[in-house]
Structure 1
Amino acid sequence: MPAQSERQQTANVLLQAYLASIVAESRAHADPPTSSSSGSSDSDDSSSSSEDELLAASGMMLRALGSLYSRRYLAERQPINKSGKNLLLLLTDWKFSRPEIFCAHVRMTPECFDLLLAALQTDPVFHNNSNLPQMPVDMQLAIALYRFGHYGNAISTTMVGLWAGIGFGTVRLITNRVLTALCRQEFRRAAIYWPTGVEREEAKQWVEENSCPAWRDGWVMVDGTLIPLYARPGYFGNTWYDHKSNYSLNLQVMSTPDLQIIDYSVGLPGSQHDSTAFAETRVSQEHDVLLAEDEWIFADSAYPLHAWCQAPYKKYVIVLNQMNL
């Protein structure tokens, strides 16, 4: 189960106590005490006092719940001195004068960063009608890429917020916005396209020159990799446990020989086999449209063997077995 905040835990305890007091009050009204006429006065007094105590208990719990929900935080918040100098240095100085430092922070070159920024900055997630505008998109993208490129405690909202000079909750909001923009179909269609006829022929020539003429039509390469997760996911955690004893995502990538990514699939748990994850890709589902009759995909032995998806080593072994060699 996902961890609950101290505020939510306190609210749950108060709510349970309030419900218990309501049940006790209902029982007290439904089953009044019976007694003889001589002791009726004393019984009425004790009954009234008991009901008053129950009403006081439920009222106290209700007031405590109201007080809890009227405040955003349980304890008084103390401001933390932060500075955005690191982020400004990254985007205004290191990006131009020290690209190696820029690349170490965001894990891409300044040119690639600018191309990605141009593709994302018009996304509606970065624009709103609030009186308080969002941070510039380049800052949001740099913060998100900084988190994506690091691991462990370095990507916590506390550490990233202190580095960028922003609130800890803002780090989470920025990450969600960038991921939302990256996952849109509009961005995928703009960033990834199927190679043209000229590009496909260039890829085939490279395969022919670096392997053999019989393999030139296998100009697409596919393979899977695992993206480790920082911790066990809160929901269905065991399904993300892979064969390398990590919690991870399964990523399928298809590329041309010059490492141009033309299709991908990500999101399935790391416990899924590559052949299962490969079935989620566009190439697998639309191979009859995307590939010519004589074209096929290079794969390893983990993938299914088809006329359009071949593992040369696997195919060679099958042929040898058929020949009893």
Structure 2
Amino acid sequence: MAVALMDEENDELLNDNLTADSDLRLISDVDDVSEMLQLVQSSRYLVYRERAISATQFHADIFLQTTPNSRFRTRTRMDKDSFKLVVDEIKDNPVFYNRSPFAHAPVWLQLAVALDRFGHYGSGASLNRSQELWDIRKGTADDYTDRVFKALNELSSRYAKWPSADERRQTSRRMASKGFRDCIGFIDGTTIALSQKPAIDGECFFLRSKAAL
């Protein structure tokens, strides 16, 4: 009888201890979840963010002098002397300046980004590629491209114009001496790839290579 009572008391004590341990574990779990929730709500980023060096911190001399000529031409589609000439032509355009305390990026950088995009098409001209290559935001790459396009377009009347009657006669004589009579010149075409086939007469916009232009 005494042994049975002792066993019963031990069982009750064991159950009480297990219940207490379970309650403690539950409280501990709730505390852990509460601390984690507080951490998430108080922190925008849970992992340390290492800030990449922005391309706007590069110096023009470094870009022009240390970049190999072949790589420079691949990125900008022109040599360094021509690049400097274009920078000088557009650097004073108001589109590159604002009244904000935060000045625009250097003109040479905006031109380099735009030329890199002009020289590619499809995924090669994507904003994702510009973001990774130049360490700038997608919207920034788009802004650079728009500014450069506007600045270059304003120079079109100076460099792209129909020759006068006297200039046409002189050119025609030079062309005739090379075997091309009654010719005032010739030009080569540049294809511009489209992202998709036009809805109207789309079949007329395909090259022999099956690319839309």
Same fold (TM over 0.5): yes
Q: Distance in 1 between matches of 2:74 and 2:51?
A: 26
Whether 2:59 is the aligned partner of 1:95: answer no
More strand per residue: 1
Displacement after TM superposition at 1:198 (Å): 8.1
Q: Relative to 1, partners in 2 of residues 1:211 and 1:153: Cα closer, same or farther, differing over 3 Å? A: same
Displacement after TM superposition at 1:143 (Å): 0.6
Amino acid at match of 2:196: R
| Alpha-carbon contact 1:99-1:110 (below 8 Å) kept | yes
- Please, which runs of 5 or more residues in structure 1 have no aligned partner? 1-75, 249-325
Whether 2:172 is the aligned partner of 1:204: answer yes
Q: Distance in 2 between matches of 1:240 and 1:93?
A: 48
> Which residue matches 2:192?
227
Q: Relative to 1, partners in 2 of residues 1:136 and 1:181: Cα closer, same or farther, differing over 3 Å? A: same
Q: Relative to 1, partners in 2 of residues 1:163 and 1:82: Cα closer, same or farther, differing over 3 Å? A: farther
Q: What CA deviation, in whole Å up to 9, does each residue of 1:246-282 have, x standing for no partner?
A: 432xxxxxxxxxxxxxxxxxxxxxxxxxxxxxxxxxx
Whether 2:74 is the aligned partner of 1:104: answer yes
More helix per residue: 2
Displacement after TM superposition at 1:225 (Å): 4.6
What's the TM-score, normalizing by structure 2?
0.62
> Which residue matches 1:176?
146
Whether 2:206 is the aligned partner of 1:243: answer yes
| Alpha-carbon contact 1:158-1:168 (below 8 Å) kept | yes
| Alpha-carbon contact 1:95-1:110 (below 8 Å) kept | yes
Q: Distance in 2 between matches of 1:136 and 1:168?
A: 17
Q: Distance in 1 between matches of 2:80 and 2:110?
A: 15
Q: Secondary structure at the match of 1:228?
A: coil
Displacement after TM superposition at 1:182 (Å): 2.4
Displacement after TM superposition at 1:84 (Å): 4.0
Q: Distance in 2 between matches of 1:240 and 1:85?
A: 43
Q: What CA deviation, in whole Å up to 9, does each residue of 1:88-142 have, x standing for no partner?
A: 48x4346346323211110011122122222222222111101111001111000
Q: Distance in 1 between matches of 2:201 and 2:96?
A: 31
Q: Relative to 1, partners in 2 of residues 1:113 and 1:225: Cα closer, same or farther, differing over 3 Å? A: closer
Alignment of 1:118-267 (within 5 A): 118-184=88-154, 187-195=155-163, 200=168, 203-211=171-179, 215=181, 217-222=182-187, 224-229=189-194, 231-232=195-196, 237-239=198-200, 241=202, 242-244=205-207, 245-248=210-213
| Alpha-carbon contact 2:75-2:119 (below 8 Å) kept | yes
Q: Relative to 1, partners in 2 of residues 1:194 and 1:179: Cα closer, same or farther, differing over 3 Å? A: same
Q: Relative to 1, partners in 2 of residues 1:191 and 1:83: Cα closer, same or farther, differing over 3 Å? A: farther
Identity score, percent: 26
The farther-off stretch of 129-138 and 76-85 is 76-85
What's the TM-score, normalizing by structure 1?
0.43
Amino acid at match of 1:154: G
Equivalences, count? 163
Q: What CA deviation, in whole Å up to 9, does each residue of 1:17-70 have, x standing for no partner?
A: xxxxxxxxxxxxxxxxxxxxxxxxxxxxxxxxxxxxxxxxxxxxxxxxxxxxxx
Q: Distance in 1 between matches of 2:63 and 2:95?
A: 28
Q: Distance in 2 between matches of 1:120 and 1:202?
A: 31
> Which residue matches 1:280?
none
Amino acid at match of 2:199: N
Give the root-mean-square deviation of aligned CA atoms. 3.2
Q: Which has the higher contact order (CA 8 A, sep 6+)?
A: 2
Q: Distance in 1 between matches of 2:190 and 2:76?
A: 21
Q: Distance in 1 between matches of 2:121 and 2:50?
A: 24
Q: What CA deviation, in whole Å up to 9, does each residue of 1:272-312 have, x standing for no partner?
A: xxxxxxxxxxxxxxxxxxxxxxxxxxxxxxxxxxxxxxxxx
Amino acid at match of 1:125: V
Q: Distance in 1 between matches of 2:83 and 2:162?
A: 22
| Alpha-carbon contact 2:176-2:183 (below 8 Å) kept | no
| Alpha-carbon contact 2:122-2:193 (below 8 Å) kept | no
